[in-house]
């Protein structure tokens, strides 16, 4: 069986004049999007594929990464993930763009690709090399197959409170999809305003998400990550053949993550790793149990895609 769905790739959006083409070519950029007013001049360049793209109706996403905030329970500082995953899930066909300088450009491209959105990535000169490397990596990954996998069905009422709950579920690696009502193949359905999840609980979304996690139970979670709090997982595919996306949100500041453990429901005897800037990287301590597969990721620089087969 071959993968069928073409991988959706983001694109560099460049506001600079056509005279800056040597900068892009030196970085290894081969395709760009430009404002419509600049398209005619840019299309005269020899070595670049150029498309006109108007961002006036596009939604700006946050620059992905992490920042540190004080832990109220201790004197330590804990990382807070800035992810756009829930917004990309909420509007899968939306037109989005990032303004991501430097290394954040590569992480933005990885995030958009992981969620299947051809977003535009604006960056500065220091971001050209990082995004060029990431775009080459993304283009090298075999095409994906299957929809996003989920444990939880979330009935989205369109409110800011619902948006924050979804954001926290993404950060906590609680796999969900947006539904109109209860679906029999999902383990849990969450509807704000129901008897189980009354609207008053939106006063503290953190507590509400903790409740959702408890109702799902840790044993019911398709994927669990141990040893890091800055990696977000996404699963696509179908039983027997799945794809795991791992995003390191510390990559925007050069933070590598190493030695974290992953537990995934289902038995998968074979795997193939595609890891950004880490060719030949393998999983270690790989164990196939009666109901789950466990392994250690020795290092994650920014983004990895792992394909699993039974």
Flag whether 233 is in a domain. yes
Q: Is residue 293 part of a domain?
A: yes
Residue where one domain finishes, among candidates 161, 188, 218: 218
Residues 126 and 195 in one domain: no
Domain assignment present for residue 198? The answer is: yes
- Regions of the chain where pLDDT drops below 70: 1-7, 69-78, 144-145
Burial class (CB in 10 A: 0-12, 13-18, 19+), 288: middle
The C-alpha atoms of residue 132 and residue 116 are separated, in whole angstroms, by 18
Q: Are 152 and 169 in contact (CB under 8 A)?
A: yes
Cβ atoms < 10 Å from Cβ of 139: 12
Query: Is the sign of the CA dihedral 172, 178, 181, 182 positive or negative?
Result: negative
pTM over 0.85: yes
**Residues 136, 182: Cα–Cα separation, whole Å:** 41
Give the pLDDT confidence score for residue 72 in this predicted structure: 52
Specify whether the CB–CB gap between 308 and 293 falls below 8 A.
yes
The four Cα atoms 188, 304, 61, 94 give a dihedral, to 10 degrees, of -70
Residue 89 included in any domain? yes
Q: Among 87, 117, 140, which residue terminates a domain?
A: 140
Q: Is residue 4 part of a domain?
A: no
Distance CA 187, CA 176 (A): 10
User: Is the domain of 55 the same as that of 130?
Assistant: yes
Residue 6 in domain: no
In a domain, 3, yes or no: no
- The answer on 120 and 18 residing in a single domain is yes
Contact 26, 133 (CB under 8 A): no
Whether residue 159 sits in one domain with residue 82: no
Q: Are residues 227 and 281 in the same domain?
A: yes
Cα gap 107→65, rounded to integer Å: 8
Q: Could you tell me the maximum CA-CA distance found in the chain, to the nearest angstrom?
A: 62
Statement to judge: residues 212 and 227 lie in one domain: no
Residue at 100 is within a domain: yes
- 44 and 121 assigned to the same domain: yes
Tell me which DSSP letter residue 97 carries: E
What pLDDT was estimated at residue 120? 98
State the DSSP code for 5.
B
Range of the domain at 299: 223-309
Number of domains present in the structure of the chain: 3
Distance CA 154, CA 148 (A): 14
């Amino acid at each position: 069986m071959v993968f069928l769905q073409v991988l959706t790739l983001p694109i560099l959006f460049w506001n600079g004049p056509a005279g800056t083409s040597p900068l892009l070519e030196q970085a290894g950029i081969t395709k760009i999007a430009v404002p419509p007013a600049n398209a005619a001049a840019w299309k005269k360049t020899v070595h670049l594929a150029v498309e006109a793209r108007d961002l006036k109706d596009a939604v700006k996403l946050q620059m992905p990464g992490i920042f540190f905030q004080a832990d109220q329970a201790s004197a330590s500082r804990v990382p807070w993930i800035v992810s756009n995953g829930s917004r990309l899930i909420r509007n899968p066909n939306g037109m989005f763009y990032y303004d991501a300088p430097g290394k954040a450009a590569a992480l933005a491209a990885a995030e958009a690709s992981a969620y299947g959105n051809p977003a535009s990535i604006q960056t500065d000169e220091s971001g050209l090399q990082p995004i060029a490397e990431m775009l080459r990596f993304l283009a090298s990954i075999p095409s994906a197959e299957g929809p996003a996998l989920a444990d939880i069905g979330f009935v989205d009422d369109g409110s800011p409170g619902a948006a924050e709950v979804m954001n926290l579920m993404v950060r906590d690696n609680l796999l969900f999809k947006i539904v109109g009502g209860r679906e029999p193949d999902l383990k849990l359905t969450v509807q704000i305003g129901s008897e189980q999840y009354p609207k008053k609980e939106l006063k503290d979304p953190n507590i509400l998400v903790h409740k959702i996690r408890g109702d799902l139970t840790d044993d019911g979670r398709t994927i669990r990550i141990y040893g890091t709090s800055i990696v977000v997982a996404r699963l696509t595919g179908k039983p027997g053949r799945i794809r795991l996306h791992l995003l390191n949100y510390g990559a925007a500041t050069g933070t590598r993550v190493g030695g974290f453990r992953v537990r995934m429901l289902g038995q998968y005897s074979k795997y193939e790793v595609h890891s950004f800037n880490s060719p030949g990287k393998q999983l270690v301590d790989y164990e196939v149990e009666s109901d789950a597969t466990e392994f250690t990721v020795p290092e994650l620089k920014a983004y990895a895609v792992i394909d699993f087969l039974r």
